[in-house]
């Protein structure tokens, strides 16, 4: 990776407390790592929650694998041993990205949804005298329907509803948890509105009654640091294609939790993580790409001084130069920069007459959201807005965003909302263009209604 110059783009960030801190983020340099951004011309990628672009380092890793070692692992010859070594390396990288206690708790597979299903099927066979599973209406449907399916084997679903503000409040769990609770399944960040959930407190409350915690980190993972040891969860899943990698998924599972679960595997496969959760062959080239994506994020962190971020990000690490420490620093830098994007995006959206942003809008609470924005305009179909913006070369999405229960709770169905979702390669200049395009779109709508 070429040197990232911290003086490239100076922006005003915010500390986790909300207080401002002068912060420099090299967005112009980083954008040059993404060939798709250059090839796209003036197209604006604001649909990143559906899948992010990949840096050149990731493309190179995928191609190198397919050209140099596109063979099955486990063989005695050199290329096969290189595949074995790459998988070990990738487990170590992902464990570092999560600040996990070790690579043996990392499993690779198709995507997060497949892991949720595999683990839920296993949990359903071990309910016993704890038949209750807590799910929320704020989650992606993948982290709801898979648990609802266990009702046919005796599970009792306990709903954790969002409040009128569209957010999950952890204090509400106390009335739902008991000695009959097997597991709490919830998201780290809602994929529709971008609101964060205090999952550390979720784990504290769940573990207090002996329940386990399953976290869907798919939407949050591109936006900030994940610390498995601080989260103290029992299961966590991600999809690599949201984190600047190819289409693949990975899961972190607490070893003692997985030892209690029966999963499908051939008899000759070890009954332990990560092997018991990796049924069949997965796309090795995409795992190589995930390894490269972590290295890309760590390279960002290796160039960012801790005092630029605003607090001691190296405090949890005995080796501040480790990949885990660099990933933490890089993701903290991304989170700080993205708070500036969130502030700019809120300004842009709230300048439009009749537009409502659904989610956190308080500028002092930007640390409680990621730069994913669901919005509606009074009297205007969300699909019409998204389609019109597409004609103006801006990619956004409309509908329920795979969270129909949340959008129903917010009173936004059946039409749903428009979602603009940003990541660290987006810029305030793109937001300004988006604001102008949205303003033009609304003016065109009003003229059409009142010719």
Could you tell me the CA-to-CA distances from 58 to 25, 109, 380, 408 in Å, in that order?
A: 21, 18, 40, 38
pLDDT per residue as tens digits for the range 418-433:
999 999 999 999 999 9
Q: What is the pLDDT of residue 133?
A: 98
More confident residue, 386 or 12: 386
Confidence of residue 213 (pLDDT cuts 50, 70, 90): very high
pLDDT per residue as tens digits for the range 326-372:
999 999 999 999 999 999 999 999 999 999 999 999 999 999 999 99
Average pLDDT over all residues of the chain: 92
Q: Do 107 and 261 meet the contact criterion of CB atoms below 8 Å apart? A: no
pLDDT at 317 over 80: no
Q: What is the pLDDT of residue 451?
A: 63
Confidence of residue 314 (pLDDT cuts 50, 70, 90): low
Which range has the worst mean pLDDT, 64-68, 135-139, 269-273, 422-426?
Answer: 269-273
pLDDT at 128 over 60: yes
**Residue where the block lists tokens 């499993």:** 107
Positive or negative, the Cα torsion across 51, 56, 60, 66? positive
> Mean of the pLDDT values across residues 25-46?
97
pLDDT per residue as tens digits for the range 155-176:
999 999 999 999 999 999 999 9
pLDDT at 17 over 60: no
> Mean of the pLDDT values across residues 43-67?
98
Fill in the DSSP letter of residue 2.
P
pLDDT per residue as tens digits for the range 233-249:
999 999 999 999 999 99
Confidence of residue 115 (pLDDT cuts 50, 70, 90): very high
CA–CA distance, 260 with 443 (Å, rounded to integer): 60
Confidence of residue 18 (pLDDT cuts 50, 70, 90): very low
Q: What is the pLDDT of residue 319?
A: 63
Q: What is the pLDDT of residue 318?
A: 53
Q: What is the pLDDT of residue 306?
A: 63
Residues 6 or more apart whose Cβ sits within 8 Å of residue 113: 142, 146, 239, 249
Would residue 119 be called left, alpha or beta, if left means φ above 0 and alpha means ψ between -120 and 50 degrees?
alpha
Which range has the worst mean pLDDT, 82-96, 183-197, 265-279, 381-395?
Answer: 265-279
**Distance from the first to the final alpha carbon of the chain:** 55
CA 193 and chain centroid, separation: 13
Q: What is the pLDDT of residue 13?
A: 37
More confident residue, 42 or 319: 42
In 287-446, beta strands by DSSP E: 355-358, 372-377, 394-395, 397-399, 417-421
Confidence of residue 85 (pLDDT cuts 50, 70, 90): very high
Q: What is the pLDDT of residue 264?
A: 82
Q: What is the pLDDT of residue 430?
A: 98
pLDDT at 105 over 60: yes
Q: What is the pLDDT of residue 279?
A: 82
pLDDT per residue as tens digits for the range 374-415:
999 999 999 999 999 999 999 999 999 999 999 999 999 999
Domains, the chain: 62-292 (3.40.640.10)
Q: What is the pLDDT of residue 312?
A: 58
Q: Are strands 20-24 and 397-399 parallel, antiparallel or unpaired?
A: unpaired
pLDDT at 263 over 90: no
Return the structure tokens found at 390.
């597409």
SS3 359: coil
pTM of the model: 0.92
């Amino acid at each position: 990776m070429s040197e990232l110059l911290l003086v490239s783009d100076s922006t005003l960030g915010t500390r986790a407390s909300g207080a401002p801190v002068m912060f420099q983020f090299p967005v112009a340099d980083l954008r040059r790592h993404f060939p798709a951004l250059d090839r796209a011309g003036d197209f604006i990628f604001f649909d990143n929650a559906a899948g992010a672009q990949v840096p050149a380092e990731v493309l190179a890793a995928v191609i190198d694998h397919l050209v140099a070692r596109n063979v099955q692992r486990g063989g005695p010859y050199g290329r096969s041993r290189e595949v074995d070594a790459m998988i070990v390396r990738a487990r170590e990288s992902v464990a570092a990205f999560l600040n996990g206690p070790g690579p043996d708790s990392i499993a690779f597979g198709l995507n997060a949804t497949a892991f949720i299903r595999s683990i839920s099927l296993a949990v359903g066979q071990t309910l016993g005298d704890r038949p209750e599973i807590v799910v929320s209406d704020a989650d992606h449907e993948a982290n709801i329907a898979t648990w609802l399916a266990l009702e046919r084997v005796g599970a009792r679903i306990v709903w954790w509803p969002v409040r009128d503000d569209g957010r999950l409040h952890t204090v509400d769990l106390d009335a739902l948890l008991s000695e009959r609770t097997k597991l709490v399944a919830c998201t780290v960040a809602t994929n529709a509105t971008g609101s964060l959930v205090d999952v550390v407190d979720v784990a504290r409350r769940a573990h207090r009654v002996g329940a386990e915690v399953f976290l869907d980190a798919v939407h949050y993972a591109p936006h900030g640091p994940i610390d498995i040891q601080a989260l103290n969860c029992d299961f966590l899943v991600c999809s690599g294609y949201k984190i600047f990698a190819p289409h693949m998924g990975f899961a972190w599972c607490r070893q003692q939790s997985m030892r209690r679960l029966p999963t499908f595997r051939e008899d000759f496969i070890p009954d332990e993580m990560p092997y018991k959760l990796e049924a069949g062959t997965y796309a090795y080239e995409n795992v190589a790409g995930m390894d490269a994506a972590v290295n890309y994020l760590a390279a960002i962190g290796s160039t960012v001084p801790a005092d630029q971020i605003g607090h001691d990000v190296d405090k949890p690490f005995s080796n501040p130069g480790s990949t885990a420490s660099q990933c933490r620093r890089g993701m903290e830098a991304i989170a700080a920069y993205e708070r500036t994007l969130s502030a700019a995006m809120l300004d842009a959206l709230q300048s439009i007459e009749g537009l409502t942003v659904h989610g956190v809008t308080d500028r002092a609470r930007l640390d409680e959201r990621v730069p994913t924005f669901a919005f509606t305009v009074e009297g205007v179909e969300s699909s019409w807005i998204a389609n019109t913006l597409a004609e103006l070369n801006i990619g956004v999405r409309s509908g329920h965003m795979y969270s129909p229960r949340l959008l129903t709770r917010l009173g936004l169905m059946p039409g749903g909302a428009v979602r603009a979702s940003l990541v660290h390669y987006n810029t305030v200049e793109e937001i300004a263009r988006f604001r102008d395009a949205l303003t033009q779109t609304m003016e065109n709508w009003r003229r059409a209604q009142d010719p």
